[in-house]
Chain A
Amino acid sequence: GESVGLHLPTLSVQEGDNSIINCAYSNSASDYFIWYKQESGKGPQFIIDIRSNMDKRQGQRVTVLLNKTVKHLSLQIAATQPGDSAVYFCAEIPRSNDYKLSFGAGTTVTVRA
């Protein structure tokens, strides 16, 4: 079955630095990946997505990179701000299962002032 995992459960970043959050997935049949951010007391919030026919996608201060060869996904946050402190989840949808979004365990990002 598919599994989505994150490399590190926690990440501490200095305000203004760039953050990189990593995620490994095991299902090579997955063709759609999403990053969510969950702040304390709130539900997950969509950040950015990427399809398997792309290697990179940029949003506002965020970039997602997909390496299908090693089944690795990363989220880069530029100029990290205190408001970026949250738990970040990667999620995937395998081609074989259209609607079951599988989430990883999450990385807690703490921004130091």
Chain B
Amino acid sequence: DSGVTQTPKHLITATGQRVTLRCSPRSGDLSVYWYQQSLDQGLQFLIQYYNGEERAKGNILERFSAQQFPDLHSELNLSSLELGDSALYFCASSAGQRSSPLHFGNGTRLTVT
């Protein structure tokens, strides 16, 4: 068990809808990362937060947004969903130092129909 909790585990929704994925980091970790994993793209970095502030941004679509709250949990919001957004979304946390290992949750599987 990595200590990172993601909810929900599965999500099925229709195109055009909006969903929110939630992540609770490991106790003591200040940094939260979001990754998207699809069969043809592998693990793609989306965004990172450190202690409530955005620290790094990857290939995150404008339809997607995230935030980290004062209690350090994070939410990833996906809107105007398209079929191609179907994927596994992983949250990871770390102490926030450059070489701190990332600890991943077990992901949320999003299916857009």
Instruction: List chain A positions with a Cβ less than 8 A from chain B.
Output: 32, 34, 36, 41-46, 49, 51, 89, 93, 97-106
CA distance A105 to B105 in the complex (A): 19
CA distance A46 to B2 in the complex (A): 10
- Given A49-B99, A101-B102, A43–B42 Cβ distance below 8 Å? no
Residues of chain A contacted by B43 (CB below 8 angstroms): 44, 89, 103, 106
Residues of chain A contacted by B107 (CB below 8 angstroms): 42-43
Instruction: List chain B positions with a Cβ less than 8 A from chain A.
Output: 2, 4, 31, 33, 42-43, 45, 48, 55-56, 58, 90, 92, 98-99, 101-107
- Given A93-B98, A101-B102, A102-B45, A43–B92 Cβ distance below 8 Å? yes
B14 CB → nearest A CB, Å: 25
Pick from B45, B56, B101, B106: contact of A43, CB under 8 Å: B106
Number of A-B pairs whose CB atoms are under 8 Å?
55
A109 CB → nearest B CB, Å: 16
- The 3 lowest CB-CB distance pairs between A and B, nearest first, are A43-B104, A103-B43, A46-B101
Contact B56 A100 (CB under 8 A): yes
Pick from B33, B42, B104: contact of A104, CB under 8 Å: B42
